[in-house]
Structure 1
Amino acid sequence: MHITNPLSSKQRFYSVNDLRELGFSYYKINKMVEQNLLSRINKKMYENATYSGDDSDYVSAMAYAPRGVICMMSAARWYGLTGYLPDAVDIAIERNMKVSTLPEWPRLHIWYFPGKRYETGIIAEQDEGGQFRIYNIEKTVVDILYYRNKIGIEETREILKNYLSRADRNLPELHRYADKLGCGKTLRTYMEVLL
């Protein structure tokens, strides 16, 4: 039995739940895989072979880590806080989670965050490839400040300086995140030097 692909060419990834909600049985899903209409990424996600939209590193990263959140230098780049082009997508998952399959592209750099750091400041953003989860700009700056020894002191300084020069900066929110996530004192020290 040949199945014509009833999936939208505008959506690249489908979860098993998405396919089930569209009315596909497991039998039909397996038939679509056999006929190369879908390719299986892992136990929960499939890639649509007829997708014809733009590629998005961030949306692709979400397919491999559905509960992941774009973070660190990848998020800083999204917000225009750095000119640095990461060679992998930085993605945060909670410490007890795991990513079962890592893609060849885009490369993923996994950050294992404790519960409070992982769940704080998540928002949804959209690019030409679809929707993805990312930390808001203030949370991103605080995470980079907290992990400054892994990121690099100069990069951290550049990101904080660029954030402080923005007209839409929200300093009370920045301080709130810093205090909540254990780097309020560090933020105040950096601010004294930069301002």
Structure 2
Amino acid sequence: MGALQALPNTFTTSQANRAGLHFRDLYRLRDEGDLIELSRGVFRKADAPAPTWPDLLAVSVRAPLAVVCCVSAAEVHDLTDEIPREIQIAVPRGQRPPRIDYPPTEVFRFSSTTFDLGLTAVEAAPGENVRIYDAERTVVDLMRMRGRLGEPLALSALRRYLLRRGARPAQVVAFARELGVLGPVRAAVDAVIAE
């Protein structure tokens, strides 16, 4: 089917429709094993290379402006052994949050003035990137939300980050200053470095 070959490895129902595939075709191809449905309205070619982060890929296709954050980002950056129950994403305050049932998703609203601070990307599948906060921003966000997500998680992620090769504690402190949690982050950084 030529229309299917013209589509990227991961695509939406609307992209498929524009390429000439009808809904019936998509579901038939899914039922025949040629497509995998990652989320409602998000499909991946069955013969495409396996994604490293399929749930992150599905969520990013459904919400392309969102950014993977908090525990989900900590997992990607190997800052925690905790597996999040939900994919955690951030959207700017004032933007309508996406409603995604599968994979289960938790949406945080971050200030639009600092939303792009620490923004980077991770390859969720070969040639397919997902927006994510870098390790430094992730550590600071966990510290900012330690009351909600748990102080042990935040402190453990900070310790794990600071003890790795290439850690940039000055960048963590700079992000903490920008995000309004300089005091707790500086105290925690000093405690870990003094160990």
- TM tier, smaller: 0.7 to 0.9
Corresponding residue for residue 52 of structure 1? 47
| 1:86-97 equivalence runs, <5 A | 86-97=84-95
Corresponding residue for residue 156 of structure 2? 158
Unmatched segments (≥5 aa) in structure 2:
30-34
Q: Residue 140 of structure 2: SS of its match in structure 1?
A: helix
* Equivalent in 75, 78, 81 of residue 76 of structure 2: 78
The 2-side partners of 1:167 and 1:4 are apart by: 47
Q: Is the 8 A contact 1:12 1:51 kept in 2?
A: no
Q: Is the 8 A contact 1:71 1:92 kept in 2?
A: yes
The 1-side partners of 2:68 and 2:2 are apart by: 36
Q: Is the 8 A contact 2:75 2:82 kept in 1?
A: yes
Cα deviation 1:131-190 (Å, max 9, x = unaligned): 100001111111111111111011111111101101110112111111111111111111
Q: Is the 8 A contact 1:64 1:101 kept in 2?
A: no
Question: CA 1:109 to 1:15, structure 2 compared with 1: closer, same or farther past 3 Å?
Answer: same
Identity %: 22
Give the drift of 1:115.
0.7
Question: CA 1:52 to 1:117, structure 2 compared with 1: closer, same or farther past 3 Å?
Answer: farther
Give the drift of 1:49.
6.0
| 1:24-173 equivalence runs, <5 A | 26=18, 29=20, 31-36=21-26, 46-48=41-43, 50-53=45-48, 54-55=50-51, 56-104=54-102, 106-128=103-125, 130-173=128-171
Q: Residue 62 of structure 1: SS of its match in structure 2?
A: helix
Question: CA 1:100 to 1:171, structure 2 compared with 1: closer, same or farther past 3 Å?
Answer: closer
Task: Judge which range, 146-155 or 129-138, deviates more.
Answer: 129-138
TM-score normalised per structure 2: 0.80
Unmatched segments (≥5 aa) in structure 1:
none
Matched residue pairs, number? 180
Cα deviation 1:84-143 (Å, max 9, x = unaligned): 011111101111122444132x11111111112322111111033631000011111111
Corresponding residue for residue 186 of structure 2? 188
Question: CA 1:187 to 1:13, structure 2 compared with 1: closer, same or farther past 3 Å?
Answer: same
Q: Is the 8 A contact 2:123 2:129 kept in 1?
A: yes
The 1-side partners of 2:61 and 2:125 are apart by: 16
Tell me how large the CA RMSD over aligned residues is.
Answer: 2.7
Q: Is the 8 A contact 2:120 2:131 kept in 1?
A: yes
